[in-house]
Amino acid sequence: MLVDAQHINKTFLGSKVLDAVTLQIDSGDRIALMGSNGAGKTTLVRALLGFYHIDSGDLSVLGHDPVKERVEVLKHISFIPQLPPPVRLSIEELINFIGKTSDLDPRQIIKEAAKMDLDIAEHKSKPFYKLSGGMKQKLLIAIALSRQSDLLIFDEPTANLDPKGREQFYQLLSLIPEERSTLFITHRLDEIKALTNRMIYMDLGKVVEDEKI
């Protein structure tokens, strides 16, 4: 089991953002996580990544505590945030850094990026934060796909992509090996349906529906 969450609770400023969430993620799960804005989707993901402490309940990722053993947990999960972080490194520095810390060949990232028509060589000396929204997203996706993580989490990944970028992105996702798990936070079920085998709906901090499709 990749993720085991048992009755986890999280309160922000007196309001319950995660309300007794119980959820398991197994290898091979391809999840569409849906629900209106404010439902707690991003908070749930941030808890899995060890960015937030939970108030109560049990949460483990591959048997590890995401807060106490965050380095270990992040070796197994790739996360594409909704808003790309304001990284000042150049593209070249960034992919070399990721290559070192994730023990992978930066050329792999370049190869994945090229599949989405992002030419790293052309932009290598630009700082990451100066790329367009779509280019940042593509680079983050290329990094996540190169790291060969057990679980890839995408928080509304196509929000900044144009229709062509979106199509290339879905094409790439269809190439992710079966044994990897994916979790997409999305409002576009129609686009992602063919790539998922499980739908989870959240509302007001609760999982209100969880079905295999």
Ligand X SMILES: Nc1ncnc2c1ncn2[C@@H]1O[C@H](COP(=O)(O)OP(=O)(O)O)[C@@H](O)[C@H]1O
Work out whether 42 is an interface residue with Mg ion (CB under 5 A). yes
Q: Which residues pair with 30 in a beta bridge?
A: 182
**31 Ramachandran zone, left/alpha/beta (phi>0; psi -120 to 50):** beta
Instruction: Determine the Cα–Cα distance for residues 77 and 202; give it in Å rounded to an integer.
Output: 22
Closer residue to Mg ion, CB minimum distance, 42 or 182 = 42
The entry of Mg ion, ligand X, none near residue 113 (CB within 5 to 8 angstroms by kind) is none
**114 Ramachandran zone, left/alpha/beta (phi>0; psi -120 to 50):** alpha
Q: How far is the CB of 159 from Mg ion (least distance, A)?
A: 10
Closer residue to ligand X, CB minimum distance, 33 or 95 = 33
Question: CA gyration radius for the chain?
Answer: 17
The entry of ligand X, Mg ion, none near residue 98 (CB within 5 to 8 angstroms by kind) is none
Judged by CB under 6 A, the chain residues 43 through 62 that form the site for ligand X are 43
Closest CA to 152 of 183, 117, 112: 183
Q: In the set 37, 163, 177, 179, which binds ligand X (CB under 6 A)?
A: 37
Residues 6 or more apart whose Cβ sits within 8 Å of residue 175: none
Work out whether 43 is an interface residue with Mg ion (CB under 5 A). no
Q: How far is the CB of 157 from ligand X (least distance, A)?
A: 13
- Provide the binding-site residues for ligand X, judged by CB under 6 A: 12-13, 17, 35, 37-43
